Amino acid sequence: MADTLIAQITMLYERFDPALIGALDQIYDSDVVFEDPLHRVEGLVALRRYFSGMVHGLEECGFTFNHILEQRGQAGEPDQAVLLWTMHYRHRKLKGGRRLSLEGSSHLQFRDRVLYHRDYFDAGAMLYEHIPVLGYVIGKIKARLG
């Protein structure tokens, strides 16, 4: 069951587009908790709304899964997986609409559907560094610290 669920997840996220929104109930529990560096949402309805907002401004987005680690739950605990990924995306307001890449990972806890999903990534590398004035300032700070 875990292999099937992980396969569904990776297949759906290969293209992060409006079709994913309609398929969320196939992989997420109605009481799912989703977290990333920018937001925390609880429940499938809130997750659907959050993803709909993200998809809206994207010209392209998809995930390549580089490595997957799975662990079976013990004594009533949910199964877990960590997915290491690269996200490729284009947004008309970031870097002139050029294609960007971001490395990250996801921690999932699941039974027949995902109960908990937490994404780990550098929000600055994803968004802030690509906003013209803010990106310049962040670049200067990084250069000074590095």
Please tell me what DSSP assigns to residue 113: S
| Residue listed under structure tokens 């010209």 | 59
CA distances from 144 to 123, 130, 135, 141 (A): 20, 18, 14, 5
The mean pLDDT of the chain is 85
Would you state the pLDDT for residue 95? 66
pTM: 0.82
pLDDT-above-70 percentage for the chain: 82
Would you state the pLDDT for residue 59? 87
pLDDT of 140 over the 70 cut: no
Would you state the pLDDT for residue 134? 46
Mark residue 119 as left, alpha or beta (left: phi above 0; alpha: psi -120 to 50; beta: remaining): beta
pLDDT tens-place string over residues 38-91: 889 999 999 999 999 888 778 899 999 999 999 999 988 999 999 999 999 888
Would you state the pLDDT for residue 135? 46
All domains of the chain, ordered by start, with CATH? 2-145 (3.10.450.50)
Of residues 95 and 68, more confidence is placed in 68
